Structure 1
Amino acid sequence: MKKYLTGILKATTYAAILCSSVAQANIINLPVDITIRDFHQVHPDFQNGISGLTSGMVGTTLVGGVPVFVAAGGTGSVNNATTFASWYSGACDSSTPSLTCVATYNEQINTTVDESTGQLTYNSSSFFPLDAITGITGDGDSNNNHNYFFTVQFSLDLVYDPNLTNTFLFTGDDDVWVFINDQLVLDLGGVHSAATAGFNMNAIALSQGIQAGEQYSFDFFFAERHFTESNVNITSFLGAPVSVPEPSSLAVFTLGLIGLAGFWRRKKA
């Protein structure tokens, strides 16, 4: 609570200085820090058939900050718990592409925030962030129009405000899982076409006993495991950030305090 109040006071103070220089347009760009793990097609969990939308692949609680595969081998086109473990943890090694990721990258994507409503949005019907990093040839794929086969994860800390809209909606493919306070709240596992799911933070706060003004953690995990499509569409109205944003975003945070989805930070692996 102390960190939350300190952050609000700092943000308000800085905003008083910066507001005069912030454009009055309603839509503002806000970068999001993400971790990308690159895989090759020879990894047994990638390009391993189309399972369709499959819930229940991972446990309901994060272990060591990452999801754990709990289904029977083959479920959701996943070989087993050991192969799945390489998706979000462990060292990358380009000499063992059938066992591990081949490289990891810390990058940013640009979301947009509507100052007047606090709606954070990211929409991509061609989500291939590795194309600009690795190129699309010699990347371990047999299809060279994109660099397929990767995972993405990011984490952030938010403060619960029951007066906000407090909804999160995702549409995309393939696997997507979201955890609040290490507990699974969105489950779109499997290799599938674009599917939609969401949650209401007010209901989750009630079930988890999160009180107004308390901090909670948000963890997002994504996997692109099959040729042809990669869709990521996010609409979020989650609460105010714990930490104070960079100066370029401070005024945006204060002006849009009614639901700005926060200062995004990458969780250390």
Structure 2
Amino acid sequence: MNPRPLALLSLSFVFAALACSSGAPDDNNNNPTSGGGNGPPSSGTGGEVGGPGDIGDPGDIGDPGDIGAGGAGGGSGCASTLKVIYRDFKESHPDFEMDFRGDGVRRGLVMPTLDGDLKPQFLDTIGCYAELTTPLDCRNATITQPVITSKATFDEWYRDVSGVNMTFEKELVLQESATQQGQFVFDSTDFFPLAPEEGFGITPPNHKNQNFLFTTEIHLKFGYSPGQRFTFIGDDDMWIFINGRLALDLGAMHGPETGVIDFDAQAADLGISPGRTYSMDIFHAERHTDGSNFHIETNISCFTPVEVPR
């Protein structure tokens, strides 16, 4: 995070409400919820659960199937609990607790598609300043300060590397809003999923006595129905890929910022169609002390976890 006082950092997962019953979507687009396909992008289809295949090879990915159809992740596979992989880091890592504490959201740090292991791919050390009124655009400005050291250091963020990070598997539960039916929320103004005694401990030493410097990785399937939205508010880096394609980009070290995925407005770019199942791959990093908030809101109520290479 950057050093200025942070507003509530919240990652808002607003998961679009889907029914968890089986069966084909009805004529009113009241589609039962299910998990979506997993895998790299494939010109409009989600991926099957299983091997990710090569990016852009639809033959390796498969037909995502109808929402609620057999094998699509509906029925008893539905849940509002996210399985999460956290990786703890030390301040000695060149990308964590950097001397430069950030100057706002940067885009263009990662490629617009995932690799064959469903991990984000390094693109640039500097990127571009975000045009925050849009999910992916940049604004014209000259910047020179790197916010990632190199491809080699970035590749350690979401992979198990002995001596560099320590990995923990946990859960994050979305709760239905008490005031807005069909909206599902996780909200933490002190998002420290790793206890002070876990991993490398309290890194770096800080007045909160909390375990900063970690990454968050989540892989899901979901059913796409019209009207779905996904809102994130928080820090630091956050990248979300839908159907293997970058859908939200809030990279770099920054204070709390908001990003929204409007599935209908972005459907063509993401290659998605209502009534089908698709992958959602989420990557977050907490890289600087001061504060850590994670707020998610969505009207998707039903999704299933996906196992990926570690």
TM value normalised by structure 2: 0.65
2:69 aligned counterpart, secondary structure: helix
Checking the alignment, whether the CA contact within 8 Å between 1:59 and 1:67 is kept in structure 2 is yes
In 2, the alpha carbon distance for the partners of 1:232 and 1:157 equals 21
| Residues 262/132 of structure 1: CA separation in 2 closer, same or farther (3 Å cut) | farther
Match of 1:50 in 2: 101
Match of 1:204 in 2: 266
2:154 aligned counterpart, secondary structure: helix
Checking the alignment, whether the CA contact within 8 Å between 2:113 and 2:120 is kept in structure 1 is yes
Match of 1:111 in 2: 174
Q: Which of 178, 190, 199 is the aligned partner of 2:240?
A: 178
TM value normalised by structure 1: 0.74
Q: Which amino acid aligns with 1:83?
A: T
Q: Which of 297, 303, 309 is the aligned partner of 1:262?
A: 303
Alignment deviations for residues 39-59 of structure 1 (CA, whole Å, 9 cap, x no partner): 001000001021222111111
Q: 1:131 Cα shift?
A: 1.6
Checking the alignment, whether the CA contact within 8 Å between 2:186 and 2:294 is kept in structure 1 is yes
Q: 1:171 Cα shift?
A: 0.3
Higher relative helix content = 1
Alignment deviations for residues 154-202 of structure 1 (CA, whole Å, 9 cap, x no partner): 011112222xx30010000000000011111101111111011111111
Q: Which amino acid aligns with 2:121?
A: V
Q: 1:84 Cα shift?
A: 0.5
Match of 1:92 in 2: 161
Checking the alignment, whether the CA contact within 8 Å between 2:67 and 2:276 is kept in structure 1 is no
Instruction: Give the structure, 1 or 2, with the largest relative contact order (CA under 8 Å, sep 6 or more).
Output: 2
Written as runs of structure 1 = structure 2, the 5 A alignment for 1:245-260 is 260=301
In 2, the alpha carbon distance for the partners of 1:202 and 1:56 equals 23
Alignment deviations for residues 16-46 of structure 1 (CA, whole Å, 9 cap, x no partner): xxxxxxxxxxxxx943210001100100000
Written as runs of structure 1 = structure 2, the 5 A alignment for 1:9-158 is 11=75, 30-48=80-98, 49-52=100-103, 53-64=105-116, 65-72=118-125, 77-89=147-159, 91-94=160-163, 100-101=164-165, 103-114=166-177, 117-131=181-195, 134=198, 138-143=201-206, 145-158=209-222
Q: 1:114 Cα shift?
A: 4.5
| Residues 159/182 of structure 1: CA separation in 2 closer, same or farther (3 Å cut) | same
In 1, the alpha carbon distance for the partners of 2:73 and 2:109 equals 42
Checking the alignment, whether the CA contact within 8 Å between 1:173 and 1:231 is kept in structure 2 is yes
Alignment deviations for residues 176-232 of structure 1 (CA, whole Å, 9 cap, x no partner): 000011111101111111011111111222334422322211011000000111111
In 2, the alpha carbon distance for the partners of 1:54 and 1:168 equals 20
In 1, the alpha carbon distance for the partners of 2:91 and 2:214 equals 10
Q: 1:10 Cα shift?
A: 7.4
Checking the alignment, whether the CA contact within 8 Å between 1:88 and 1:153 is kept in structure 2 is yes
Match of 2:136 in 1: none
Checking the alignment, whether the CA contact within 8 Å between 1:30 and 1:113 is kept in structure 2 is no
| Residues 261/117 of structure 1: CA separation in 2 closer, same or farther (3 Å cut) | farther
Written as runs of structure 1 = structure 2, the 5 A alignment for 1:155-174 is 155-162=219-226, 165-174=227-236
Q: 1:83 Cα shift?
A: 0.3
Q: Which amino acid aligns with 1:72?
A: T
Match of 2:255 in 1: 193
Checking the alignment, whether the CA contact within 8 Å between 2:73 and 2:221 is kept in structure 1 is no
In 1, the alpha carbon distance for the partners of 2:243 and 2:225 equals 16
Q: Which amino acid aligns with 2:153?
A: T
Match of 1:231 in 2: 293
Residue identity over aligned pairs, in percent, reads 31
Q: Where in structure 2 are there 5+ consecutive unaligned residues?
A: 1-64, 127-143
2:174 aligned counterpart, secondary structure: strand
| Residues 81/201 of structure 1: CA separation in 2 closer, same or farther (3 Å cut) | same
Q: Where in structure 1 are there 5+ consecutive unaligned residues?
A: 16-28, 95-99, 239-259
